[in-house]
Amino acid sequence: MLLPQLLPTSQVRAEKLIALLLSQGSTVARSHCNIDPVSGLKSLEHLQRALANHRDSFECEIVAFPQHGLLHSKVDGLMREAMSMGVHYVGGLDPTNVDGAMEASLDAMFQIALDHDKGVDIHIHEANPAGVAALNYMIKTVEKTPELRNRLTLSHAFALSILKPEELDDMAERMAAQGVTVVSTVPIGRRTMPLPQLRAKGVKIMTGTDSVIDHWSPFGTGDMLEKANLCAQLYSGSDEFHLSRALAIATCDVLPLSDDGQVAWPKPGDKAEFVLVDASCSAEAVARRSPRWATFHQGRLVYGAIERA
């Protein structure tokens, strides 16, 4: 089996991934860590060791992720142990396609979150009526459970791409009202996501890489500036204004200038989290995916170098 073969090198690989992300300007991440009956909590332990070795340069939220299904792999107990080890989010996965019991799977996921006062981050790939039903069920659960408000993240959420415009508007309004976040890899092709429509309704949008050169996809690079570039190509346009706006998905909506051209960042009191790039402006950085010279975290240089005059 593959999982036992991966465990001996998982900490080393995690640290190499942290170094890659720092080289591309990322100092904050959210990592989905496998919780399964074969490796148990070993992957989590290795990830936490890797993060401890980089605590001064890199921040990371951890999602306990039941890759083989919460119910299917019978890992409720392991998931609860993971919560006690400092994990930030309860993960989940396609409750119909993987667990074969949509309501029972989602109820179990939410119950762990409620019992341990955690957020939820579910990978929902189902781009079919079952996926739409799952989204509706989760939003309805948050609507009737105030403790879950602002604590549900939908990763991928491909079912949003098959909704009719009026259905999407209705669901997006409900999501925004409950503080539901969507994390998208900005896919290209038949699963192109309606990110502008979601953002227009007030839904928080984040991005990430589903994989970095592994068995899921050969295209992952871990480069968030690449995601901004994809957004510009797919949704906005090539003029300076729209290129600069596309940067928002890579910076958690922090932009140097507001829409009307006023300085929005940096200002006194802002966190000293920034990256120096070889570009004349943010629009050029997005369009050209400009080389990164140096990365700063909490005011400290954590990657690269700068020339001093």
Q: Is the four-CA dihedral 92, 28, 171, 158 of positive or negative sign?
A: negative
CATH number of 29-222: 3.20.20.140
**Rounded distance between C-alpha atoms, residue 202 and residue 180, angstroms:** 10
Q: Using one digit for the tens of pLDDT, what is the confidence trace for 72-118? A: 999 999 999 999 999 999 999 999 999 999 999 999 999 999 999 99
Angle, CA of 179, 183 and 189, to the nearest 5°? 135
Helix, strand or coil, per DSSP, at residue 49: helix
Per-position pLDDT tens, the chain of length 309? 677 888 999 999 999 999 999 999 999 999 999 999 999 999 999 999 999 999 999 999 999 999 999 999 999 999 999 999 999 999 999 999 999 999 999 999 999 999 999 999 999 999 999 999 999 999 999 999 999 999 999 999 999 999 999 999 999 999 999 999 999 999 998 789 999 999 999 999 999 998 887 677 788 899 999 999 999 999 988 999 999 999 999 999 999 999 999 999 999 999 999 999 999 999 999 999 999 999 999 999 999 998 876
Closest CA to 153 of 164, 171, 139: 139
pLDDT in tens, 216-236: 778 889 999 999 999 999 998
Asked if residues 123 and 93 have their Cβ atoms less than 8 Å apart, the reply is yes
Structure tokens at 64: 């306990």
Domain ranges of the chain: 29-222, 241-304
